[in-house]
Amino acid sequence: MEVICGAAGSGKTSTALLRLRSLCLMFAARHARLGKAAPVRVLVLTFNRTLAGYVRNLAESQIAPHANIDLRIDTFGRWAMSTLAFPNVPADGGRTRLRVLAARIGELAADYIVKEVEYLLGRFEPEHLEAYITAERTGRGAMPRVDRHLRRRILDEVVYPYLSWLRDEGVSDWNVVAIRMAREVEPLSYDVVIIDESQDFSANQLRAIRHHLAPDHAITFVIDTVQRIYARGFTWTEAGFDVRPERVHTLRANHRNTAETAAFAASILNGLRPEADGVLPNLAAANTHGPRPKVRIANGKVVHSPRT
């Protein structure tokens, strides 16, 4: 198992796909040596479809077309849904029902409670939901404060009624899909797995992926919590992976920013402290040059700024 960390533009995805090529060749040679006719099974997962298309173009160019390799490149959602024969998942993933239940609590905004529920459902397995009461809310921040009393209400008045509603309606949400992938499908035995933007995967999604690893496998996680979209909040150990320090590789290069953009961003990023597995762009490593960045302000708001 390897973890590749780095800021935006540091070459994380490119590095992972170069590793993909090396691993495919290694496993193909191993299969030949052992006399195995079965192809090397390879899974490359991303979080969204746009990234999947980008990764597909890069990944397919890394693997020789004549190689004995079965390559699957997809989002987690499509991979899981197609494997499960497309279960009934409402278009909004059950969020409408969650909002109705969350609005009854009143101590916090309903949208915040919905995100809290999605966080805890994705982090804990169904039989361990009560652990939420005392668990450290990794990645969720200290404010607003969600004490034991409020956690109890969230479980009793939102989570458990919501799960009952899913069962009564005969529908699934994306977390149920992940759990079913881990428990209802025979292992698909992938030899090589690459997970891009893995900071946006839930613990239950990673547990599902772990279930489908071959006994002898190589898995690589590409991660940067600075670019996290969803507050997943879990530890590697919780998800069932043993991440050793020597297996974590941090990329320091900056291929995306010009020196001018880096100089502009330096004062903005000064003092920011990324969480674990997060890396801020190395502004000192920007060697290319371009025009000075421009910022337009309309009605007191920044409407355009350079990408960092």
Report pLDDT for 51: 65
Over 80: is that where the pLDDT of 154 sits?
yes
CA distance 122 to 186: 21
Report pLDDT for 3: 92
Report pLDDT for 230: 44
Report pLDDT for 259: 60
What's the pLDDT tens digit per position in 87-135? 999 988 899 999 999 999 988 999 999 999 999 999 999 999 999 999 9
SS (H, E, C) the chain: CEEEEECCCCCHHHHHHHHHHHHHHHHHHHHHHHCCCCCEEEEEEECCHHHHHHHHHHHHHHCCCCCCEEEEEEEHHHHHHHHCCCCCCCCCCCHHHHHHHHCCCCCCCHHHHHHHHHHHHHHCCHHHHHHHHCCCCCCCCCCCCCCHHHHHHHHHHHHHHHHHHHHHHCCCCHHHHHHHHHHCCCCCCEEEEEECCHHHCCHHHHHHHHHCEEEEEEEEEEECHHHCCCCCCCCHHHHCCCCCHHHEEEECCCCCCCHHHHHHHHHHHCCCCCCCCCCCCCHHHCCCCCCCCCCEEECCEEEECCCC
Neighbours of 163 (CB within 10 A): 17
pTM over 0.75: yes
Report pLDDT for 115: 92
Report pLDDT for 189: 97
What's the pLDDT tens digit per position in 211-249? 999 999 999 999 875 444 345 578 888 899 988 889 988
Q: Residue with structure tokens 């997970």?
A: 195
Query: Would the CA dihedral through 178, 182, 183, 188 be positive or negative?
Result: positive
Over 50: is that where the pLDDT of 308 sits?
no
178: burial class by Cβ within 10 Å (0-12, 13-18, 19+)? buried
Query: Is the CB of residue 131 less than 8 Å from the CB of residue 124?
Result: yes
What's the pLDDT tens digit per position in 245-293? 899 888 876 655 556 655 555 555 455 454 554 444 555 555 666 777 7
CA distance 216 to 27: 10
How many residues appear in the chain?
A: 308
What's the pLDDT tens digit per position in 183-211? 999 999 999 999 988 888 999 999 999 99
Report pLDDT for 251: 85
Query: Which range in 31-40, 56-65, 162-171 is most confidently predicted, on average pLDDT?
Result: 162-171
What's the pLDDT tens digit per position in 2-57? 999 887 777 888 888 888 888 998 999 999 999 999 999 999 998 777 767 777 77
Report pLDDT for 195: 93
Inter-axis angle of helices 76-83 and 203-211, nearest 10: 50
Report pLDDT for 229: 39
CA distance 159 to 89: 17
Q: Binning pLDDT at 50, 70 and 90, where does residue 66 land?
A: low
